[in-house]
Every structure is written in structure tokens, then in C-alpha cells.
Copies of this chain bind each other. A is one copy, B any other.
Amino acid sequence: MIIAIDATSGEYAPYETVKGAIKAAQEYEVDITLVGNKTMLHVLCSRYRNKLDINIIEASEVIGPHESPVKAIRNKPNSPIVVGTRLVKEKLADAFVSAGNTGAVLAAALFNLGKIKGVDRPAICSLLGITTAEPVLLIDAGANADCRPSHLVQFARLGAIYCQRIIGISTPRIGLLSNGEEETKGSQLVKETHHLLKTTNLNFIGNIEGQDIPTRKADVIVTDGFTGNIVLKTIEGMGDTFVNSLRQVGHVFSNAYRLQGRALLQDLGLAKRVDYREYGGACLLGINGTVIITHGRSQAKAIKNAIGLAQQTAAQGITQLIKEETNE
């Protein structure tokens, strides 16, 4: 299986990206295609290329994190985001992983790969690993700011398929994010969606609230992309605060008691659980191909995890499963 990787985007590219890709090539059964500045990538990979199957494809244009997505993919056809999604289209890669501008990845995926027939709005399905061993899925985590109830029902179906195949839960609990657990609570959008979800064959457990996200009350959390994106980033912000505080605790312990406080804290794995750098990323669901978006601040481990997720997503045939579901 070939995974194409955007080696240019993200705060720690290309060094951490390449490091993560090499680790993935060593750990998983994947061949890697790095997309970016060829000269630079050759230098970075020189030590590994005779041992590992790492291909390099030139794409020297760079799309910045704040560029207008549609304009960027039109003006920079030779950027890793455009080239990478095209590799998937042309079956030269089984999946594409990027830590780049989410809007641009989405736009390039729509342009090069297109929507699956029957899917109205492709969505971002984000894997939240907060306190439990298995991540909670949040869909939509940012692709569609304004939604209709039927879109949210479709997100629920996409999320359920992904949860079944990737997390391995046969009948995932679907929760609708709202401002109260009673079905009378919510915006007009949520109230209508609640009503629709009750008529489906999904394992819909009703509305869930913000505090239910870290406790994993639902396996799949359905929301519009505006709310989902804000919630995701709020969790990340709180996670940063948490990790910083833990580091501070570690320092204080180390200083006060001359102990390996930080090491112990690391062993406890607490920081890890809320640290997005460990997350596997998010999957674009509803497009004709496997595209994984990982955090802009991803370091080697997150890149490696995202490649693992890409491999799993492609191997499970998620795109085909969605096609079957939506063309029923």
C-alpha cells in the first residue's frame, strides 16, 4: 500500500514529517511517497532510501495555513496538497496525509477526487483521544459551517461506518451534540436533526452535552462543522493548558524533592492522553479516496500515527463502504 505524504505543510515540516514517515515505513506495511521539495527531501531521506521504499515527488509550491483555499489550489497546482490528492485520483497512492491548510486539503480533495455519489456534504471526522483508550469520533469537525438536518443525519451515517471499521465498535452509540440532553433542547437545526435521527436504524442515544465528550458517553458525536471545529479547538486549548500545567507540576516536584517528577508524569501518560500531537488525525469522509488531515503542529509521532490511520482507512475500504451505504 502506498501512502502519499505532504512533506511541506505543518509547523514542523519537513524534518518531523520525514521522520514520522520513515518511522511509519519501518513500523507499518506501507510504501511512502513524499511530496514536496525534491532536493531537500533527497537530502533528508538519503540515509534511509536504500533500506526503505521511499519515493519522492516534486511539488515545490507552498500553500500557507491562512491562504484562501479555492484560490490557493487554483494558483498553486504544483503544491503537495494538489499533487498529493491527484496521486490518489490517479491510483498512484492509496491515501494522502497532510498537516496543511484544512480548507485547501478539502478543496483539493473535492476538486481532484470529487464527492461520493449520494453524499451531499463531505465531512471531517476527527478522532478525539482524551481520557479513554479508544478515541471518540467527532463529525463534522470543520468542513461545513452551515448545515441542514439531513446533512447531520448523513454525518451520523458516515461516522457510524468509520467507527465500526476503524475503532471496531459494531453498533456505535451516536450522540447529537446539543445544549441540553432533553430532545426539546437545542437550536432549530438540532431539534429537527434529533427528530430525523430517531427514525433511522442507527444506534442513536439522543442529545449529549459538552461535558459528555471526554467521558465517552457516545462513540460518534454528530454536530455541524462550525460547532465541531470550535469544540475541537477548545479541547486542544484546554489540553495545552493541561500539559503546560503538568510540566509545571513536574518541575516543581523535581526542584522540591529532587525527583524525576517529569519522568514519572510521563509514565502516567496523562499528558499524552490530551495531547493532540499523539492523535492519529482526522479523515475526510464522503470523498472518492482516502485523505487524512493531521494537526498543523504535528510532530513525527503524530505523522506516523496519521499514516497508520491512512493505511487502516484505505485497507478497510471505507470509501467503498460509504458508496454502498449511500447508493442503497
Binding site for B on A (CB under 8 A): 66, 68, 130-131, 142, 145-146, 177-182, 184-188, 190, 209-215, 224-227, 229-242, 245-246, 248-249, 252-253, 256-257, 259, 264-265, 268, 270, 273-274
Contact A237 B214, beta carbon cutoff 8 Å? yes
Across the interface, which residues of B come within 8 angstroms of A210, CB to CB? 229-237
Contact B227 A226, beta carbon cutoff 8 Å? yes
**Copies of this chain in its oligomeric complex:** 2
Instruction: State in angstroms the CA–CA spacing of A232 and B232 once bound together.
Output: 13
- Of the listed residues A212, A225, A229, A256, the one surrounded by the most CB atoms of chain B closer than 10 A to its CB is A229
Across the interface, which residues of B come within 8 angstroms of A248, CB to CB? 268, 270
Contact B270 A226, beta carbon cutoff 8 Å? no
Known contacts A145-B179, A226-B227, A265-B249; is A211 also within 8 Å of B187 by CB? no
Known contacts A210-B229, A252-B268; is A215 also within 8 Å of B237 by CB? yes
Instruction: Choose from B179, B184, B235 the contact partner of A229 (Cβ within 8 Å).
Output: B179
Can you list 8 A-B pairs with a CB-CB distance of less than 8 A?
A142-B179, A179-B225, A179-B229, A209-B230, A242-B274, A245-B273, A253-B264, A256-B264
